[in-house]
Chains A and B, each alone.
Chain A
């Protein structure tokens, strides 16, 4: 049984009629990297602020290492935090920014210096110690932010969309930096993001949130491989959705009743079928087998390592497909068959969480 570092119990937060968090409970074992993933307004940043203590919940408890911290003020919680806006102190040099939490804790100067040097080395910024934040690039500033957040060995590292203010080219580099530093320290981390790729790449576990609820909690493989409803499927990048009707063991496309063969579905009520563009196979001539939809090529784009097609079914349904380089090319307007592999076709219920 792994030791639970952070436990949230029935956290609720609302502003008047606006419910930001609704009965959130989860447990984070020591050393786990957890992501809170969701669209803007889903409550993920609110939840992070409740953990940090900069926002008090209306109900529920925040428990760290078995101690109830709900009423403990932020500055006594020993949390580390990396901010979307970097939040470096403009009046302090890089070294003094990193030394700040040590200075506040009254550490001896010599030890401060050692720890600051070590932290800056860890984020590969040793040479910039005497510079001021305004003299650094965004990527460098965020490394300073990371060094400042780990230098005092906080109980939990909180990261609030740390890559969102960086250029796309820097994001991957910084993501790897975060991954390496957190694994190296074995630190427990809670990472807030709206980008499913970041969450999938970094996390041990992901809590996908919507309208103040946790919709699904699981490993990246579980979230991506078995989304529990249409919201999750859409959010993790299933670009093709087909509204379907369920009748006994059959799944039919809602528009024209075409029967789809899928893995066994145990569902009732409205449902949606999803398939990833890379799982849609294009064939030029009619053949046998299930799940073949006659489509027209509406558009195509050469992407270097693959070709992206936009297909239109006669019902108006639009499908995206990715074909590998080397597969026969189809021109705009060509009549082709889209084959949806039945084991790649997932059928999920509609998301029941609504704004409350």
Chain B
């Protein structure tokens, strides 16, 4: 093995560990019995932390809350992002870069700063502890990604295909349904996945506006940890991890990941 390829192999291993080691630690914590991190591996494997989690916490309720909020946030985001991206991509809007900057701005400032402001407003108009309210707050996180991906999708769309559709007899609505939507579908699916995950995974914003009826998985992980149950928190966060992994696998199969990156490049 030459020095160069050894270095390359070392870098790849370091990179993989960098990403996966924290996850591995959580999995060991969640499935290991009497493991205090002294030995390399737990002496025994167990599911008791998951049972504990189910006994101490309303896991189903928390999971349903999280999914409901994430689905709502996805729908809200798409409803806003699709027309916005269409306008930015297809009409020669003045100040286009300013517009995109404004849309990306909430992602550039500290989430906690933003969350405090959102909390003030939500307390004033009684939107805290509601699924709709939390989903709306999550739109702030999801919309920038969604808009950027969709702008790139719509910009990459061949205008001549839309013209062809019109000449062949499609009115505006029919054209959208028969041509625009099918062509934009991969981008819309990607935007939806990003939006869902942005909401599903969010902690900081949710923490500021959740209530007893709207505990989500990330918040519950934090609460369990606060109660001193590290392994229970690990078990819950393992459940929390599942959709991300499933979506990642599904996405890699369905959508060419380079298209998604292309969307980010466009910003």
Contacts and interface: CB of A to CB of B under 8 A. Distances in A.
4 residue pairs, one from A and one from B, having the closest CB atoms: A87-B164, A101-B168, A104-B169, A74-B166
Given A89-B179, A90-B183, A91-B183, A100 B168 contact: yes
B178 A104 contact: yes
B169 to A, nearest CB: 4
B182 interface: yes
Interface string B161-178: 101111111110011001
Contacts of B171: 73, 75
Contacts of A76: 169
A33 interface: no
Interface string A136-179: 00000000000010001000001000000000000000000000
A75 B179 contact: no
Interface stretch (A77-85, A204-212, A249-257, A321-329): A77-85
A58 interface: no
Contacts of A73: 166, 171
30 contacts: A53-B167, A54-B166, A74-B163, A75-B167, A75-B168, A75-B169, A75-B171, A75-B174, A81-B164, A81-B168, A83-B164, A85-B160, A87-B160, A87-B163, A87-B164, A89-B161, A89-B164, A89-B165, A89-B179, A89-B183, A100-B168, A100-B178, A101-B169, A103-B178, A104-B169, A104-B170, A105-B169, A148-B168, A152-B169, A158-B167
Contacts of A79: 167
Contacts of B182: 89, 91
Band of interface residues on A: 20 to 34
Interface of B: 158, 160-161, 163-171, 174-175, 178-179, 182-183
Contacts of B174: 75, 104
Nearest to A145: B164
Contact of B167 (A54, A90, A91): A54
B161 A75 contact: no
A74 B179 contact: no
A52 interface: yes
Contacts of B178: 100, 103-104
A1 to B, nearest CB: 30
A90 B164 CA distance: 12
Contacts of B183: 89-91
B167 A52 contact: yes
A103 B178 CA distance: 10
Given A54-B163, A100-B165, 6 more contacts: A74-B166, A75-B175, A79-B167, A87-B160, A89-B182, A104-B169
A152 B170 CA distance: 13
A6 to B, nearest CB: 15
A75 B170 contact: yes
A87 B170 contact: no
A138 B160 CA distance: 17
B182 to A, nearest CB: 4
